[in-house]
Chains A and B, each alone.
Chain A
Amino acid sequence: MNDTRFATEYKKSVDAVALPEGYKESLISALIESEKTRSSETGGKNTWNIRSFIPAIVAASLVILLGFGAFFAMRGIFLEKEELHIKVYSATNLSCIKGARIVFRDKDGNLLADKKGDPLTAVTDENGTATATLPKDTAVSAEISSDGYIPLTVEAQAGNFYISPVMTEDTYRAVLTWEKSCDLDAILTREYKGKAEQLYYFNSDFTNEEGTVIATLDTDSENGDGPETITFNSNGNGYFRFSVGSYSSLKEEADFTFANAGATVTLYQGDKLIGEYSVSDAESGNVWCVFEVSDGTLTIIDDIYTVSAMTEIK
């Protein structure tokens, strides 16, 4: 049996396995029930009578006041420190990085020291995790470095951090992260010889005329928790524009803003960190055009606009 005949026979064989009768109707009924339940859980609060909650609100306020009192009393007694767990990943394949070194600086740029006076340092284990005990409520920055990666400086806080491998000088990499659960996507558009194309998960690379890959979607966030990383080589390959799209806001999140989502783009070129960009105002829109690279020249755009379909992103 050759390949084509196998395909025909296999299709026949698969089609001969009967699907449950009426399963689509059962599925649709179950989905309607599920949507109704979800809708009543999220939207039903509009029908509540606020008066019935007054006793609960008063009680909760008292508990909160007492809690604050206890908190400030304890704060005066104990020295405030907190343990941070930092996890370091590669921005291109999300593998954990073992042996990454983290040092910490105060707001004046001085290295924090341990009890012996040595610089306070944390090193990631095989799971990419490092732990450090730092003064609480004090602005501290963390410098993360590892062999073969571009050093990254971030605000010292618990969480996941993504560092970029070193690239060739004409290569750019943008790493999109966000704080709130939402469906953001990194999108790269390219114009070359009058043709435009868009890089996204189902078209995850661009090639040049010789068939060499010049841009890739390195990581695609399927679960809506980030990051998304795009790498591209600008050398003679046309005009590139990097944007962030909010798919879910096309549908129902009318009050969505990139500032609320905590979206941040970290941009690298070659072996350097170019900058970290985020949206500070509450401008609404579902596309954030972050930067463009034309003939090797980088320009930060930082423009927010609205589209009705992601295919309209330019």
Chain B
Amino acid sequence: MLSANINKTEAAVRKYGDSLMRIAYTYTRNMEDAQDMVQDAFVKYMTKAPEFLSTEHEKAWLIRITINICKNHLASYYRKNRDELDENLSVCDEHSTLVDAVNSLPEKYRTAIHLYYYEGYSAKEIARIIGLTESAVTSRLQRGRGLLKKMLGDDFG
């Protein structure tokens, strides 16, 4: 059973690792922490060994678990380091890349924007992954776009 689980998990790491690392990075904003979050997600994958109906289902499950782990991590980190974090998370005036711009958005907009523009999910699919209604996701996408437009000016919209 050990080798079967490991083989399946190794295949999943190779297939979805990059996507999950990039999603985790939008939360943690550093690769070391992102890797820890993704590792926790794959430990859950390995220990729960869920049965999936399709590869889309499998990927969506992993994304959902990764997001939950990141949120829990940030919640506990924020509680411990509230003052320091508030200073470090101030929004920069200039963004060297679009990643920086998106990563400076509040978390709820950032996740929706990343899943929509990078992963190519529809609002309905994002709603299922993060457990919201489709209209809530559409609203987050619109507000996220609005904030990006303000930050990027003529470069967006």
Q: Which residues of A contact B (CB under 8 A)?
A: 1-2, 6-7, 9-11, 13-14, 16-17, 19-20, 23-24, 26-28, 30-32, 34-36, 38-39, 183, 198, 200-202, 204, 222, 224, 247-248, 250-252, 309-311
Q: Which of B18, B25, B53, B97 contacts A200 (CB 8 A)?
A: B53
Q: Is the CB of B97 within 8 A of A13?
A: yes
Q: Is the interface of B mostly helix, strand, loop or mixed?
A: helix
Q: Is the CB of A23 within 8 A of B60?
A: no
Of chain A, the residue at the smallest CB distance from B25 is A17
Asked, given contacts A1-B156, A202-B128, whether A31 binds B46 with beta carbons under 8 Å apart, the answer is yes
CA distance A24 to B17 in the complex (A): 7
Q: Is the CB of A27 within 8 A of B35?
A: yes
CA distance A222 to B50 in the complex (A): 11
Interface contact tally, CB-CB below 8 A: 110
Within 8 A of A (CB), among B20-58: 21-22, 25, 31-32, 35, 38-39, 42-43, 46-51, 53-54, 56-57
Of chain B, the residue at the smallest CB distance from A252 is B1
Enumerate chain B residues within 8 angstroms of A26, measured Cβ to Cβ: 35
Q: Is the CB of A34 within 8 A of B43?
A: yes
B139 at the interface (CB under 8 A from A): no
Number of interface residues of B (CB under 8 A): 48
CA distance A204 to B157 in the complex (A): 33
CA distance A10 to B102 in the complex (A): 9
Enumerate chain A residues within 8 angstroms of B71, measured Cβ to Cβ: none
Shortest C-beta distance, B95 to chain A (Å), equals 10
Enumerate chain B residues within 8 angstroms of A250, measured Cβ to Cβ: 51
CA distance A14 to B48 in the complex (A): 30
Q: Is the CB of A1 within 8 A of B155?
A: yes
Q: Is the CB of A251 within 8 A of B49?
A: yes
Q: Is the CB of B118 within 8 A of A14?
A: yes
Enumerate chain B residues within 8 angstroms of A11, measured Cβ to Cβ: 117-118
Q: Is the CB of B128 within 8 A of A31?
A: no
B91 at the interface (CB under 8 A from A): no
Contact with A along B1-22 (1 / 0, CB 8 A): 1100110011001100110011
Shortest C-beta distance, B118 to chain A (Å), equals 5
Asked, given contacts A1-B157, A34-B46, A35-B46, whether A14 binds B60 with beta carbons under 8 Å apart, the answer is no
Q: Is the CB of B17 within 8 A of A20?
A: no
Enumerate chain A residues within 8 angstroms of B49, measured Cβ to Cβ: 248, 251-252
Of chain B, the residue at the smallest CB distance from A13 is B98
Q: Is the CB of A28 within 8 A of B128?
A: no
B138 at the interface (CB under 8 A from A): no
Of chain A, the residue at the smallest CB distance from B58 is A202
Q: Is the CB of A183 within 8 A of B39?
A: no
Enumerate chain B residues within 8 angstroms of A309, measured Cβ to Cβ: 51
Q: Is the CB of A31 within 8 A of B39?
A: yes
Asked, given contacts A13-B97, A35-B46, whether A24 binds B14 with beta carbons under 8 Å apart, the answer is yes
CA distance A19 to B57 in the complex (A): 25
B64 at the interface (CB under 8 A from A): yes
B99 at the interface (CB under 8 A from A): yes
Q: Is the CB of A19 within 8 A of B18?
A: yes
3 tightest Cβ-Cβ pairs between the two chains A and B:
A13-B98, A247-B51, A251-B49
